[in-house]
Amino acid sequence: MRDVLLHPLISSSFYNLVRLVAAYRCETRFLPRLLYLGVMTFLRQPVIWWEAAKYGRRIRGQQFEPPVFIVGHWRSGTTHLHNVMSQDPRFGRVTLLQAGMPNDFLTLSGIAQRRFARQLPEKRLMDNVPVSAEAPWEEEMALTSTGRMSFYHVSFFPRCMQRIFNEAVMFDGGNPVLIENWKHQYLNFLRKIQFAQPGMPLLLKNPANTARISLLREMFPGARFIHIHRNPYKVFVSTIHLYLKAQEAWGLHRPNRERLVRHVLDSYPQLMNAFFAERGALSEKELVDVSFRDLEDDAMGTMATIYRQLDLPNFDAAAPRFQAYLDSQRNYQKNVLPLTPEEHDEVGRRWGDVFEQLGYPV
């Protein structure tokens, strides 16, 4: 029952939910889940209208400080890096409450916020990372509730994974209509976040942005990027695990592991090659590459490298906060996930060029 109560689409506008189901359909067995979402989004619609009327003009006038973007394929260590860097108080950030309730978080009462917090599980679906309403979160989740241009929709419509990836992440090779739709959604939400944290540069973590570097530089002059990577074999098994857990909890289609494996094998090199094609245009002051292994083995040294290369201020002031957070995570237990010999061979064969670009042995 909790999975339904915490379904990301529960915060969607009713109109957006209708559009999504019209585009991707719902399997018959999941109609009760869809009915519940439909009733809840319909009942919450007046609150969404009220917030838009109350704050809309001020939100639209927001200007951004140059953000810092954390990118990298899903399950490459982006969350860990985001959690560490979010300890720096000079950064604004997206919280789980804001990402989960993007249409009305400004007007939620204290009672509603406490209710949201009480419903949260102790840990994320796919791993042992603790969850709280104020935890830093990725903005891609918010876009599920504001339009069609979010990769998170693969969690609800597994049969359409490749279509959603092609449209929401790769923009069908540069379709200007899709790009403008995404920019509209993205800027509307981030202006709201900036409005809630005025004058603070935003620290944003979003794996889907790995393929959007040139667009982000155009939209946010002066932006800086941190790309984190991890051994692709571990990325593969962890990504499969992530998608299956999310689709089992929230799907309006039945998950299919074979289809999922095909998607991950195809989409990982697409995403990474898009990043490789665009990273050459960035200077050393705009982009730093780090590995998840280095972040695990020498977190403070890695953080010092990031701040020094990107010319970010106040590392010495933030360092004790970084260390305190890292100390709190010393007992964290990672999942141990199996990789079959057949999948191991297929990953090495299909992703060989990416292994080489990132410096990992096949």
Please answer whether residues 72 and 207 qualify as being in contact, where contact means their C-beta atoms are separated by less than 8 angstroms: yes
pLDDT at 1: 42
Whichever domain contains 212, its CATH number is 3.40.50.300
pLDDT at 193: 96
Strand-by-strand arrangement of the 202-205 sheet: 92-93, 202-205, 68-71, 224-229, 287-291
pTM over 0.75: yes
pLDDT tens per residue, range 133-179: 888 999 999 999 999 999 999 999 999 999 999 999 999 988 999 99
pLDDT at 114: 72
Domain of 312 in residue numbering reads as 2-358
Residues of the chain with pLDDT under 50: 1-3
Token digits of residue 131 = 């969850």
pLDDT tens per residue, range 106-137: 987 666 667 776 766 667 665 667 777 888 99
Please tell me the total count of domains within the chain.
1
CA-wise closest residue to 108 among 133, 139, 91, 89: 133
pLDDT at 339: 85
pLDDT at 332: 65
Token digits of residue 321 = 């906060």
